[in-house]
Chain A
Amino acid sequence: MNNMLLIFCAAFITSWVLLEIFFKISLSFANTGEIKNNTTFINYLRLTSVVLFASTFVFFFIEGEKFTNFIYFICVI
């Protein structure tokens, strides 16, 4: 399982790098000159991805009973 989690992290980082390269190449065709807006957007995107990645990682890390208890806890709230 630990090996799978490592591969999961590696795949996430590889794909994120590919997305960022694609995103920057695409924006170079835009000719809008809104570099500040683009940087702000990509920073928000990075933040969202990290939060989503962390939550998915936790999902796989605390498997089975621990996870169902976690969901139960949220439902009780």
Chain B
Amino acid sequence: MFFFKSSPYYVVFGGAVTVFITLGLNHSNGLFLLPITTELNSGRELFSLAGALGILFSGVGAPFFGGLSDKYGAGRTIFILGMLQILSWIWVGNINSEFDLFGSRILMGIGSSGMLGIALSITGKSINSENKSIFLGIIMASGSFGQFIMVPIINYFINNVGWVYSTFIASLLVTPLILMSFIISRNSKNFNIEENNQTIYQSLHEAISNRSYKLLTTGFFVCGFHVTFVSTHLPAFLSDNNLNENLAGFALALIGLFNIIGTLSFGYLGSKLSKKNLLSTLYSLRSLLFISFIIAPKNEFTVLVFSAVLGILWLSTVPLTNGIITDIFGHKYSSMLFGLTLMSHHLGSFLGSWLGGRMFDIYGSYNSVWWLCVILGFGSALVHFPIKSQPRIIRLKESGQLT
């Protein structure tokens, strides 16, 4: 039967659904802040700290689960991570103490760690086409779409059946990941076979001593900083400027909407142009956008245009960064190597969230952090220029290690 015929497009479908669910539900976490802090009778700082620790563990787990996926298969790893996510949501529904709060958020962080990298890498491995970059853009866009769809759905459930039952519904919403793990297992084939007899440790050692990889990882830190600072502190910033109370909702919706369009556009451009030049352009544009936003008068129109343009540049970095890693090192250990780069992104996210609040407490405004975003953006653009995305085989031939 046609339906059961093995096809790499099922892998793209499985990867897209995996990222849709994982990123969508991760983005819904903030909705549980008020009910959980009320239940535990604790401050918001505790919930924020637990969330930040979850992000850190998600970053730390990314290279580990990426390596597991490279060695034992993406389907098996997604199955394990899916089960961890289901358990973590059930745990959230049974929170009685601070220990439960921290434990469940850390488990959720581990459960979602590396999912994005695994989905992108398995798509890159399975699709044997020069338009691979577009498919990576589709995977990323599905994650953005998940954030766009899941938040109002979880919000609806919290308002209608209460936060405890909503966590159980969230755990049910994770279950399609188990089915996706089987679909991916059955259909994934490595069409991009390359001469690579390296062990996982040799690959890791090569990456760590590769200048371009180090520059790429450093640059990706800035992406995490920008994205988390804006998504965490923009609503408060708008409120400080006495703008319409509905504006934050409109702004975040426009970021999400244009994020989908942006990842697709940059995915397409990545298949036509140099990925590192595109990344340099993207970070420079972000800095120019931040400067315009600092200088411009703050009203509804400027805020919404800022949000929409930032949405275009939001997570468009991901398919390009993943593409450069596979260009340099091939597909064999791409999940693990992208996971390591993602760790730097998550460290940036942690600092973006924390430093935003800290600087506000010290200076009484977000101006210093906006300027820091500008400097970091231009710095990241400069860092991407010297990257050489020369494939491993050519590097070995040039150094005389391969004839």
Contacts and interface: CB of A to CB of B under 8 A. Distances in A.
Contacts of B309: 15, 18
A12 B160 contact: no
A62 to B, nearest CB: 12
Interface residues of A, number: 33
A56 B269 CA distance: 26
A28 B182 CA distance: 42
Contacts of A60: 249-250, 253
Interface residue SS majority, chain B: helix
B43 interface: no
Given A19-B312, A45-B261, A52-B261, A26 B254 contact: no
A40 to B, nearest CB: 11
B272 A32 contact: yes
B304 interface: yes
Contacts, number: 85
Interface of A: 1, 3-4, 7-8, 10-12, 14-15, 18-19, 22-23, 26-27, 29-30, 32, 34, 41, 45, 48-49, 52-53, 56, 59-60, 67-68, 71-72
Interface of B: 148, 152-153, 156, 159-160, 244, 246-247, 249-250, 253-254, 257-258, 260-262, 264-265, 268-269, 272-273, 278, 281, 285, 300-301, 304-305, 307-309, 311-312
Given A11-B304, A27-B269, A56-B257, 16 more contacts: A4-B244, A7-B304, A10-B304, A11-B254, A15-B308, A15-B312, A19-B312, A26-B269, A26-B273, A30-B273, A34-B272, A45-B265, A48-B260, A48-B261, A60-B249, A71-B152
